Structure 1
């Protein structure tokens, strides 16, 4: 547990596939193994959320890109084929006692432990890398086998230092088609070019939470976080749009995550808390991203 202080950002690297790290996929649902590349992305970074339940200290991990939690896929039996275990996924933390997102890190014992840990799920499975002999297999699963010897379950924990100063600049929109609704000030002419999701939002000084009814919401098309800030800012922060800072909250019990990368492909509703840069209520402690 000492490798997972509450609020710390970490990367998990596979012991066997040494160049590969646990990534939250861009679809906002899948989890896979990938190398960091020349410019590591937020998809490889997870923030620690500690929860005490029934006297047991659990570690929850939510992605630094979309705020979605590492979880056991619900209602799936162990698949046939080369993979061992049930798929690991990303999801919202929707209920206080949601078993799917609960993990307990266990230090690997023995002379060759190397400081590695096993991520043991509350249902007794272990987070497992796949593809020891098939490098194209990048799936991550929760292995239900009760043995403990496989090194495919071993993970190295790397701490990611906090960013100093204000949040990074948002990426500009890319790949927009002329007339697509994703464009900042463009009209939509092709009805099937963009995907639609609902955005709910609250200002940081609003006493309500996302469990309340009748919250402000609007449809948003595309994935551009730059365009989303423009639309959220016009509604929640008029007159100071480009000082609008957005944090996503994945589930009623999810923690705030700064939204500084383009949105996931999944079309689920997103809940956004709005801050203003330089305001007395701004708390830069929540903007702990890759330095």
Structure 2
């Protein structure tokens, strides 16, 4: 468990493929990608006690969602059961609970789900198959071997993604009809938000909601600054995702997932004790900080 210190960020690299466990941009799937410097490849360690032992939970640096195993069959071409990004509402929720177990070969580990299934890569001979699943403990192979890379802490806040222009519905007329066929309708989701005090505490009865269009983190932050009365001091707030009642807060440094799923947001004051408790870095290494804005620009 020394490879998973609480609160630190790690990457998980497949022994066979050499690619990294990646939180997909749809905010649901998990796959293997080569983008080592992407925030989607970084996972923060959340250690918990379960049945007298220490277990590991992993929530993504991109969206704050937790690595979770399900009882659903994996997609065609994958072995075992589906793995997703999920929320952590109930402290007794087994879906997000893992243990790291040495493989006995080199510095690799198994990531064993509490169900005793093992996290695995797929497609040993199919390079197009980037899927991840969990498979029975008895089916052990090198496809279940992972190396753990620590993401060095960095004391500086990352750059926000540059403002992006969300696709708008086209105007009427013949040209508008043509554009409706070629341009996607912008995503719309419910944002549930709450303002935290200087120490990071917030009233669980104080949540408010609004409908948000698109994925731009910059636009979301602008909207929230108006709603919490910080419009003049736009950079005075830190926007964090809250993926469940028992989840840890995650600073939002990328554009939102490509989905219409609601998001819970906690707004902290930058530089406050609360921000330092929840949002300070351990977050990303210097390379990640320099690359994030470029890698996370979205094509709409």
TM-score by length of 2: 0.84
Q: Is the aligned partner of 1:272 residue 2:265?
A: yes
Counterpart contact for 1:237–1:244, Cα < 8 Å? no
Distance in 1 (CA, whole Å) between partners of 2:122 and 2:128 is 9
Structure 1 gaps of 5+ residues are: 181-189
Distance 1:209 1:255, change over 3 A: farther
Structure 2 gaps of 5+ residues are: 171-179, 286-300
Match of 2:153 in 1: 162
Distance in 1 (CA, whole Å) between partners of 2:31 and 2:274 is 37
> Residue 153 of structure 1: which of 144, 153, 170 is its match?
144
Q: Deviations over 1:180-217 (max 9, x none)?
A: 8xxxxxxxxx897211111111222175454x3x6211
Q: Is the aligned partner of 1:87 residue 2:82?
A: yes
Match of 1:132 in 2: 124
Counterpart contact for 2:23–2:41, Cα < 8 Å? yes
> Residue 142 of structure 1: which of 116, 120, 134 is its match?
134
Match of 1:174 in 2: 164
TM-score by length of 1: 0.86
Q: Is the aligned partner of 1:14 residue 2:14?
A: yes
Q: Is the aligned partner of 1:283 residue 2:276?
A: yes
Match of 2:248 in 1: 255
Counterpart contact for 1:12–1:157, Cα < 8 Å? yes
Distance in 1 (CA, whole Å) between partners of 2:100 and 2:274 is 35
Distance in 2 (CA, whole Å) between partners of 1:259 and 1:28 is 13
Structure with bigger helix share is: 2
Counterpart contact for 1:230–1:242, Cα < 8 Å? no
Distance 1:118 1:218, change over 3 A: same
How many residues matched?
270
Match of 1:62 in 2: 59
Distance 1:116 1:280, change over 3 A: closer
